[in-house]
Each structure stands twice: as structure tokens, then as C-alpha cells.
Amino acid sequence: KLERCYGILQNLTSGLSEKEAHDVLNNAVCKDKTHEEVSLGLLVAILTEPPEAERCIRDLTLITRDGLAIVLGHLNQLVLERYLKLQDTCRGQLLWLVRQFIRSNVAGIDNLCLSLLRHAAGGDTSPRNLYLVEALLDIFQ
């Protein structure tokens, strides 16, 4: 589903300037189903394309109509079910996104933080676990 949503986002915005892409996205999210698809497509872009993450999070916050509830719900599901299978780049982007959402005071981000804390294993000194713990401590400071 996320892959399909990312494809829809690419079809809408490929070859357009930033302003044109923003206008196209705003028009597209007027439709009920397209709002979810575009939001999830932007989420995939944030997690998989670090150079584009700033632009995508800006677009995501501008087009949201539900306080990012759809995005947070899918992120929470992703963390609970698939966090251990994510690539390191994607994990880093996920933690960056959590930091941005906390800075923006997004409602419901606390549930996502709790889900991430569940993956911080006590006594596990593997590099991936230490990275997660250090990143979460840095975010919560």
C-alpha cells in the first residue's frame, strides 16, 4: 500500500517546480481518498529519501487535514510491526521525523515514542540498539 501511495505521489509531482507541486498536492488532497494516499506517499519519501525530507515534511504539514493522524497511525504500525526489519537509513529518518513532530507539537506523537521505547532493549549493547537509545535520549532532552 505504501509503495502504491508513493507511486501516486511521484505521478502527481514529477517534473514540477516546488510551487507547482504544492498547488497540485493541495488540489489532490481535496478528494477524501487522495488525502490519505498523498500523505502516506510523502511519509515514504521522508523515510527513504533523506535529501528530500525537509521539502516533504513541509508539504506534509501544509496538506494535512487531520493533524497528521493518518501518518502517525501508519508510523506507529510500522514501528510496532516492522522496526527491526528497517534499514539503518530509514531508522535514522524515522527518528529525525519523530524529532520534527515533537518540535511541532503534533498531537499523538507520545504513542509513537512509546512504541520506539519498546524496541530499546535493556542489556543489549549492539550498535543498532545503542544508536536507538542514544537517539531517543537526545530527542527527549
- Kindly report the pTM of this predicted structure: 0.92
Q: How far is CA 17 from the centre of its chain?
A: 22
Cβ atoms of 75 and 112 closer than 8 Å: yes
Residue 86, C-alpha cell as written in the block = 528497517
Per-residue pLDDT tens digits for 1-44: 889 999 999 988 888 888 888 888 888 888 767 889 999 999 99
**Distance between CA 102 and CA 109 in Å, rounded?**
7
From the list 36, 44, 47, 119, the residue with the least C-alpha distance to 87 is: 47
